[in-house]
Amino acid sequence: MQRPAVVSNLAELRQAVASARAAGKRVGLVPTMGALHEGHLSLVRASQSECSLTVVTIFVNPSQFGPGEDYDRYPRTLDADLDALGTCGGGILVFVPRTEEVYPPGFASWVEVGPVAEPWEGRCRPGHFRGVATIVLKLFNMVGADIAYFGQKDYQQALVIRRMVEDLNVPIEVRVCPTVREPDGLAMSSRNAYLSAEARQQALVLWKSLCLADAMVCEGHRGAAAIRQRLRELIQSNADMRIDYIALADPETLKPVEQVSGRTLAALAVRLGSTRLIDNRFLEPPPS
């Protein structure tokens, strides 16, 4: 196993990407905040399948964390991350910028995305998507990749980024890859590291709730309010759970639906103690 090369300043990054371009190579980008798990590595492998050079960025972005959130304690595991990336093979370059390079003194420009950034995470975490859209656009401009890879677990984030790319004519393709789960269904997340063994078992209620919604739709239930209520009852049967939202919505606009009459996104955000977890899945009514 050989660790990938690491660069920490923009000039080195651009030189490496320019060399790849001069050799006719396609460039992929996998933006991360580190604490890599199999979900991140699946995005790296997706990039490797289409691109000769994959740039993996590792940067815990302060501007997407609100007051009282977990910026200071967010896992920072660079050595383990490089070891994990070493298992993916060659063609990887890791960009680990300093905060001062990303947000230099006097930085004052921010990206605000419209309606798709407003509900759910936008309501629960004011300013979060401003920080996400800004850092992602900066990384797009820094790397100059052909394709960027994101996971479906952060579905709203991916939709916000797609909206930004379309609205601002950013010359990059956005790929959204399937959520990677543990064998018991728990969506892989860097924040799972916060969970005790007991809390880890309790967290399975997110996936169980989404499976319940799917089962209800397959059994013929169509009323969104009734489905949400059943999910609420299941989650709240655990006294340690606090629900931020249970949403059934149009997957393109995120507008809530009253009836599950076509492909619908079910999305959850739940607080388990001090740890906040999100998950989602598509609901597909069977043909009538």
Whether residue 269 is contained in a domain is answered as yes
Whether residue 182 is contained in a domain is answered as no
d(CA 179, CA 134): 24
d(CA 49, CA 32): 19
Identify whether residues 132 and 268 lie together within a single domain: no
Identify whether residues 165 and 196 lie together within a single domain: no
Domain boundary among 127, 147, 177: 177
Q: Is 86 in contact with 47 (CB distance < 8 Å)?
A: no
Identify whether residues 113 and 58 lie together within a single domain: yes
Domain boundary among 127, 142, 177: 177
Identify whether residues 160 and 200 lie together within a single domain: no
Identify whether residues 34 and 130 lie together within a single domain: yes
Identify whether residues 77 and 155 lie together within a single domain: yes
| Residue 276 bridge partners (DSSP) | 271
Whether residue 210 is contained in a domain is answered as yes
Catalytic site residues? 40
3-state secondary structure of 93: strand
Tens of pLDDT, residue by residue, the chain (288 residues): 799 999 999 999 999 999 999 999 999 999 999 999 999 999 999 999 999 999 999 999 999 999 999 999 999 999 999 999 999 999 999 999 999 999 999 999 999 999 999 999 999 999 999 999 999 999 999 999 999 999 999 999 999 999 999 999 999 999 999 999 999 999 999 999 999 999 999 999 999 999 999 999 999 999 999 999 999 999 999 888 999 999 999 999 999 999 999 999 999 999 999 999 999 999 999 987
What stretches of 120-204 show up as alpha helix (H) in DSSP? 121-124, 128-143, 155-167, 197-202
Long-range CB contacts (within 8 A, 24+) of 195-204: 195/272, 195/275, 199/240, 199/272, 199/273, 199/275, 202/238, 202/240, 202/241, 202/272, 203/272, 203/277
* Residue reference for tokens 């005790």: 196
Whether residue 138 is contained in a domain is answered as yes
Domain boundary among 125, 155, 177: 177
Identify whether residues 161 and 35 lie together within a single domain: yes
CATH of the domain at 43: 3.40.50.620
- For residue 252, the enclosing domain spans 190-282
Identify whether residues 224 and 166 lie together within a single domain: no
Whether residue 229 is contained in a domain is answered as yes
pTM of the entire structure? 0.96
Whether residue 99 is contained in a domain is answered as yes
Whether residue 288 is contained in a domain is answered as no
Identify whether residues 49 and 72 lie together within a single domain: yes
Identify whether residues 233 and 93 lie together within a single domain: no
CATH of the domain at 241: 3.30.1300.10
Count of domains observed in the chain = 2
Pairing of the two strands 264-272 and 241-249? antiparallel
Identify whether residues 158 and 231 lie together within a single domain: no
Q: Is 172 in contact with 140 (CB distance < 8 Å)?
A: yes
Look at residues 98, 91, 80, 81 and name the one whose alpha carbon lies nearest to residue 8: 98
Identify whether residues 78 and 144 lie together within a single domain: yes
Q: Is 181 in contact with 192 (CB distance < 8 Å)?
A: no
Q: What is the DSSP letter of 155?
A: H
d(CA 148, CA 166): 14
Whether residue 274 is contained in a domain is answered as yes
CA atoms within a 13 Å half-sphere pointing along the CA-CB vector of 190: 21
